[in-house]
Amino acid sequence: MASILCIDTATNICSVCVARDGQLLAQRETTKSMSHTSLTSVFVQEVLEEAKLTIKDIAAVAVSGGPGSYTGLRVGISLAKGICTGAKIPLIAINTLESLGMASIAGYSGPSGNVLHVPMIDARRMEVYFAAYGADKTLVLSNEPYIIEEDAFKSWFSSYDVLVLSGDGAEKCVEFLGNRALVDSKVRCSASNLIKPAFKRLQAAKFDDLAYYSPNYIKSPNITKPRKGLF
């Protein structure tokens, strides 16, 4: 039996879980603002204790690798790397949009037809990161950063009957996509979304390089300097 520790800090949700052979054993999540730095390692300890496991029982660590919040990704991936290095176990980084998209497909029970699943992550202001997957899990569009405006996405999505939006960027976009679009509010970033893809990667022994792996930010972080005399 193989156990995997999963960490998702790509958005405002701080989420950690542990699973054995693809089945969830314990999970902790919070949307508390600015909690990633203080709570992620605490959640790791809590889920291990609840599942009656130690790091020695963990076969790999899976982490949401972006796109997403610059700070959130840094926290989650730094912790995952630290655990993997100390325990000498492999790292599995899962694309955040892929994990959202697969969760959306797995849980969908809405209108039939030519359905497209569109996971979206808020990139602040009027921007989102998004990808698009067919109902058969085929990747249609990959990791696109996009400015939301009138007629947004029209040229890409016009041939689909139903657009299923998920993630924290969905509400910003639904009004631009007409009555074909619906928001699946049940699907959001969560460590539990990493379980199935992580176990597939573990079985195939497809791991990420601990020394060289870095988050998929897509674009550079928006870092500003205070004006002179502000403090």
Q: Which residues pair with 3 in a beta bridge?
A: 20, 58
CA–CA distances in Å: residue 222 to residues 37, 73, 86: 19, 14, 32
Residue 48 CB partners (closer than 8 Å, separation 6+): 5, 18, 26, 54, 55, 58
Q: Above pLDDT 70, what percent of the chain?
A: 91
What is the tens place of the pLDDT at every residue in 146-184? 777 766 676 778 889 999 999 999 998 888 888 889 999
pLDDT for 167 equals: 96
For strands 23-30 and 14-20, give the pairing.
Answer: antiparallel
Burial 61-86 (b: 16+ CB within 10 A, else e): bbbbbbbbbbebbbbbbebbbebbee
- Does 96-183 carry CATH code 3.40.50? no
| Domain boundaries defined on the chain | 3-95+189-204, 96-183
CATH number of 3-95+189-204: 3.30.420.40
DSSP 203-225: HHT--B-TTT-----SS------
What tokens does 68 get? 């997403």
The pLDDT of residue 225 is 40
Query: What residues of the chain score a pLDDT lower than 50?
Result: 223-231
